[in-house]
Amino acid sequence: MFSIPVAATPGYSHNLDVQVRLDNRSNRAHREQYRLRYYPSVTFSENSAWSLNSFVVSGDDFSSSHNTFGSDNTDRIYVRRLFVRHTGDYGKTEAGVIPTYKGRVSSSGLSKDGWIEGLRHVRYLPNDSALELVVGQLHNTNPANALSTPDDLDYIELEYSARMGQAQSFEISAERMTNGNFLRGEYRWRFSNEATVFVELIKRLDKDETKTVMGLSGQWQMGNYPLEYFAHYSYVSEGFGPRAELTEDFLGTGHGMSAELEGELWSDWQLDWFVRLDVVDSVSRVLTGVKFPLHYP
């Protein structure tokens, strides 16, 4: 992955990352893929609390940002986000085509490369807690239409999150999306300086369907060689609905597991390798590639 943060002019910054990988799946031919993600941001004045942000990325699907070499989507690149952000002591507010914000460590949240047309407001509360409200539209999941004007309010999320000391945290949220109502809970426990265990549960309220995730992430020393790992078990009910398909690299419903390992390949160039195994019922997949961060002094 090439990671290039640049402060070109006062108030302007951008970040570019590129990844190349091999995707070998049991139910299709193997694919060589690349990912290009670009994050430009402009602050309205020096030290301003207001900023204009965008996200330009490859891929032709809400939950995938990879293009496949030799296919029809080799050159697909779209603007998926364009939003205004205000930050302050109270928290933050975002308006426009905003991020999904669940990130890599969450295995039940929407894809980190996805988008929502709407508004997010995060309010910091006492005792290391926060309340988050998101309202908007998540209807057309084609990246080519990500910046289209919303015409319906079909997405709402209200989330409460809190820390319990330095080691434990939890989230609980009520959601309305993809024509379904959901209740989501998450608990995380950092039981050492290098390991975190987590449990997530989503219950679909209008149907008797669930998604469950249990996992572990952290660092592991193999002699003097540090490795990072991320592994989880998941179960997704067959009738859970499109909300499952909009998570990161969705393979299918049923019982599944994922394990990822990465480490340093060449320290002088900060070149890292990674390998990942996904299995969902009868479908398996191996992903492997390299990451190459580049930082300006």
Residue 135 has pLDDT above 70, yes or no: yes
Locus of tokens 């330009």: 56
Residue 205 has pLDDT above 60, yes or no: yes
Mean pLDDT of all residues in 51-76: 92
- C-beta separation of 78 from 100 below 8 A: no
Residue-wise burial string across 20-37, b where 16 or more C-beta atoms lie within 10 A, e elsewhere: bbebeeeeeeebebbbbb
- C-beta separation of 197 from 216 below 8 A: yes
Indicate the pTM of the whole model: 0.89
Gap between the Cα atoms of 215 and 212, Å rounded: 10
- C-beta separation of 279 from 259 below 8 A: no
Look at residue 167 and tell me if it is in a domain.
yes
Gap between the Cα atoms of 175 and 134, Å rounded: 9
DSSP 3-state of 267: helix
Give the confidence band of 4 by pLDDT, cuts at 50, 70, 90.
very low
Secondary structure (DSSP) of 140-209: ---GGGTTSPP----EEEEEEEEEETTTEEEEEEEEEETTEEEEEEEEEEEEETTEEEEEEEEEETTTTE
pLDDT in tens, 71-114: 887 899 999 999 999 999 999 999 999 999 865 545 668 898 99
Chain centre distance of CA 188: 17
Q: Looking at this protein, which amino acid is placed at residue 240?
A: F
Percentage of the chain surpassing pLDDT 70? 92
Look at residue 296 and tell me if it is in a domain.
no
Element (H, E) at 273: strand 271-280
Look at residue 37 and tell me if it is in a domain.
yes
pLDDT at 108: 66
Look at residue 196 and tell me if it is in a domain.
yes
Q: Record the tokens describing residue 57, joined without a space.
A: 């990325």
Length of the chain: 297
Domain span holding position 144: 4-291
Look at residue 161 and tell me if it is in a domain.
yes
pLDDT at 296: 41
Greater model confidence, 72 or 30 = 30
Gap between the Cα atoms of 23 and 274, Å rounded: 12
Look at residue 53 and tell me if it is in a domain.
yes
- Region of poorest pLDDT, from 23-27, 140-144, 263-267: 263-267
Structural domain tally of the chain? 1
Mean pLDDT of all residues in 188-196: 91
* CATH code assigned at 74: 2.40.160.10
Look at residue 40 and tell me if it is in a domain.
yes
pLDDT in tens, 227-273: 999 999 999 999 999 999 998 878 899 999 999 999 998 877 777 89
Gap between the Cα atoms of 249 and 72, Å rounded: 20
Look at residue 22 and tell me if it is in a domain.
yes
For the chain, state the CA radius of gyration. 20
